[in-house]
Amino acid sequence: MKKVIIMTAFILGTLNVVAQIANVKVKFNLPTILSESSGAIFLNNKLITHNDSGNENKLFELDTISGLITRSVTVTNATNIDWEDITQDETSIYIGDIGNNNGDRTNLKIYKLNKSDYLSFTSVTAEIINFNYSDQADFTPNPNNTEWDAEALISIDTNNLILFTKNWVSDTTKAYSIPKNSGTFTVSPLPTTLRSGGRITGATYNPSTEKVYSIGYNSVLQPFIWVCENFRSNDIFSGTNTQTLLTSLGFEQAEAITYIKDNRYFVTSESFNIGPLSDKGKLVSFTTNDKVLSIKELATNVVSLYPNPVKEVLYIDSSVFTSIEIYDTRSVLVYRGYNEKINVSELNTGLYVVKVLLKDNTYNIKKIIKY
């Protein structure tokens, strides 16, 4: 994104350095065509990225060894108003047209691509997920001074994406859950807000460690990483949140992050030219020493529901659940939520099927009796 950044006194503040982020290295400068790289995923041993506002409606595959672009794919029914991040699950790729520097957009959307189509063709058609913020009432343009900008998008479960806002006013970040199916949705903030101390510009969820890594930078282009872990359900900021400043990189407009494997990550930065400072976009790598969950740990997702039978309040006992759906005997969805405590007092008496979505993109099916 082409941004106007006000350079202030070079005050880095208190460093919160975490030893787990190591081996931070610049691999190479990005090709000129990717000078505004803004989102990234890793698929089929290639980095898939895109540019942001006003650029082509294309995804580019980058060979991370040679630094060459090997392929591009056009999204035929999309316009790159302000593509800011990309994420994936087992079957789909999601492109977030979520940038909103002025805070006045009423056409925020996410493009959903079928992975099979993406891998087979150089032109694909996307499903479209339209959304708006339930807590935004004012759409008066306010360039680079709005709380309704966003640049980070992740997938952590089967049914929902999580979007992180980029608040220009207070340098805080809200998270919003957005359904993965096409349609138009009004989304509400999740309970916990992060005091990010800067602008979150990209994020990735690593299922093998169950941690979210977010990239961003502060007002003097000092890049940082937030690591979020041990969170409740999909309330990403409800657990332990730790910031690390990437001081070895100097000034960088870091824009995207993706995990490559259990303990390796890539970051892309955007070229910039601000006053006396200028630089090219880069591909950066780093490693971590996170504990990797075993196959057994990932597979053993024990879920308990109690009391059962239930009259008024149903509780979920699970450290790895992300959301819950309740269906009646006609397979009609009667409830969807994200909390461990569910008020079922208004449901009719009878048998219900409960689908509990888990962090590893699997789910448990349970039955309850409402009396």
pLDDT < 70: residue spans in the chain: 1-19, 294-302, 319
Q: Look-up: residue for tokens 């990209």?
A: 202
pLDDT of residue 10: 29
- ω into 191 cis (within 30 of 0): no
Q: How many CB atoms lie within 10 A of CB 328?
A: 16
Gap between the Cα atoms of 240 and 258, Å rounded: 20
Residue 180: closest CA among 231, 113, 133? 113
Residue 187: closest CA among 241, 109, 257, 259? 109
Q: Which domains does the chain have, with CATH numbers?
A: 22-292 (2.115.10), 296-370 (2.60.40.1930)
Per-residue pLDDT tens over the stretch 121-175:
999 999 999 999 999 999 999 999 999 999 999 999 888 999 999 999 999 999 9
Q: How would you label 24-51 residue by residue, b for 16+ Cβ within 10 Å and e otherwise?
A: beeeebbbeebbbbbbbbbeeebbbbbb
pLDDT of residue 273: 79
Q: Please, is 57 exposed, middle or buried when counting C-beta atoms within 10 Å of its C-beta (0-12, 13-18, 19+)?
A: buried
Q: Residues 60, 65, 68, 73: what is their CA dihedral angle, to the nearest 10 degrees?
A: -20
Gap between the Cα atoms of 197 and 203, Å rounded: 16
The token pair at 24 is 């931070």
pLDDT of residue 170: 92
Per-residue pLDDT tens over the stretch 285-312:
999 999 987 654 544 456 788 888 899 9
Element (H, E) at 299: helix 295-299
